Chains A and B, each alone.
Chain A
């Protein structure tokens, strides 16, 4: 290697090192900015010397009192409400979305295209628009306030068929001849979905379950609307937020932080284990979305 090429080689390597360093510094700064609020919440949840908001971050006195206090409130009830709603929605919505996607991907029926276009346009309207009429219907059915959970499940699941895009895109990439081979082999359509398509679509199934779970888990607007006035019908988001109003904040702020940590915990664990599938699901469906 001549001196000149060696020098150029060094120059290239040096510039790559510089740019790599810059990128990493930038990424570290961004992640610190991102993580600060979470760290603050966790730290505040262990602060026991004062239950209201304060002007510092690191607690002077540490303890788990906020967590134990949580269980003397309605928090466990809210948590159960949220958990049941999210779980039921995840289960029902996944089944509906996957069946819908399979149908739209594999069957050719009249009005298939118009139906897909119609759902696309319908999906562009914000769901809030339907809130008043939905409230009226749920009230007549007796599914508001203390009975909010089944009402919420009904609302969350009702429009889930419209969320078919990503999984239909994924199903479209699975060759049709697999279906045909299975049909000749004696499988019914349902068996094909269950035994051939779903095992080949693991990432998208997990993605669908996760997104279906996350919606109700973090919902605030609708849950508040339907549970209004009763503590028994609240979900965690509504319940916790109510602790931040003027009368309660000085007493409940640290408890609010502890509640927030408990809400984030299961979802974080879920994502840590399933993130590989989640990313595959998002990108896999995007190939032919």
Chain B
């Protein structure tokens, strides 16, 4: 249970490649923070620097107010779960979990108590006498979590713990991690490349690209108000649609026109743009697949598209559309309220009309890629 503070933390490798640029973040006590980003974005490197497995090239790292830059991992009071579990193959599950306690010379009866307690929480009591190779992937991951749990460490680090599991097990373990988090009440730092994991687990999400933090915020914040094109595209599945458009100003009111339609913005968006004194300019319009309204008949504010692919997901349809310019747009359409006739009309090559509600529109500057109205 501790806060973690990173100030200008930097990682430069021997070959002068900078993996992490001035990383600044303050993680509160008992917070669950998720580092998310594509591979090579420096999220794992940052986590390993916090763990002490990588040297910190610059800046300071504080755990509980104490600078720990030069401390060995064992002196930082952290626990870590690895992607490939990293269980000791020659030890039984019990010995694996007990390893750290025995190193600390905890009396054997207390070791027993803590190991069996952790095993009970994780549902692995019956496997305690087995060797790791006799366990399935999910069970191994539980043991790895158990090994970290018994330490009662200040900070709990997890490096893509679910990515070696199959989809079903991953969902199950994700739910278990959420429960575990409430039981343990400690500070969690979790690394993943999967935005779904990030959204469901994190109190706050840190979105990284090329060693730089792009945005930090709650899942709702990063979803609703992405600060740039990268975040907008990374968070959300299927990803946000991006279309070329132009922004027009008339007095304090703005509108966006694309593909022959002009869409007025709402008062909040107008206020932000007016404050920034934005003028007429080219913009990139972002709209999420689930925020796009589907009309089955032409309308003056609707954009005409052709259906390329119709993916049936059960509760909803994912429609892949092409507009007049040849750009692709993906739309999520709930199936519940569709009539039989409407369903039939959604076949390959048929026409469809979509419109964008003003509050769901995101505008980005094509040059800086920064959001014009969010953040």
Q: Which residues of A contact B (CB under 8 A)?
A: 175, 177-178, 180-188, 191, 195-196, 199-200
Contacts and interface: CB of A to CB of B under 8 A. Distances in A.
Contact of A188 (B53, B74, B84): B74
B86 A186 contact: no
A182 B52 CA distance: 12
Contact of A200 (B52, B79, B80, B89): B89
Interface stretch (B97-105, B115-123, B224-232): B97-105
B53 A182 contact: no
B89 A184 contact: no
Given A178-B88, A186-B103, 11 more contacts: A175-B84, A177-B82, A180-B82, A181-B88, A181-B147, A185-B103, A185-B147, A186-B104, A187-B99, A191-B103, A200-B89
B51 A184 contact: yes
B72 interface: yes
Interface residues of B, number: 23
B43 to A, nearest CB: 17
A189 to B, nearest CB: 9
Contacts of A200: 89-90
Nearest to B89: A200
A98 to B, nearest CB: 16
A199 to B, nearest CB: 5
Interface string B60-88: 00000000000011100011101110111
Nearest to A178: B86
B241 to A, nearest CB: 40
A183 B53 contact: yes
3 smallest beta-carbon distances between A and B, as pairs? A185-B100, A181-B86, A177-B86
Contacts, number: 55
A186 B72 CA distance: 9
Main secondary structure on A side of the interface with B: helix
A178 B90 CA distance: 11
Given A177-B84, A180-B82, A187 B74 contact: yes
A160 to B, nearest CB: 26
Contacts of B151: 185
A175 B103 CA distance: 21
A184 B88 contact: no
A180 B99 CA distance: 13
Among A181, A187, A191, A196, chain B packs the most CB atoms within 10 A around the CB of A181
B51 A185 contact: no
A187 B82 contact: no
A182 B89 CA distance: 12
Given A180-B82, A187-B74, A199 B90 contact: yes
B90 A184 contact: no
A184 B74 contact: yes
Contacts of B100: 185-186
A196 B74 contact: no
6 contacts: A180-B53, A181-B87, A181-B88, A187-B99, A187-B103, A195-B99
A181 B104 contact: no
A183 B103 contact: no
B16 to A, nearest CB: 15
B89 A185 contact: no
Interface string B189-213: 0000000000000000000000000
A183 B73 contact: yes
B99 to A, nearest CB: 5
Given A181-B80, A183-B53, A175 B73 contact: no
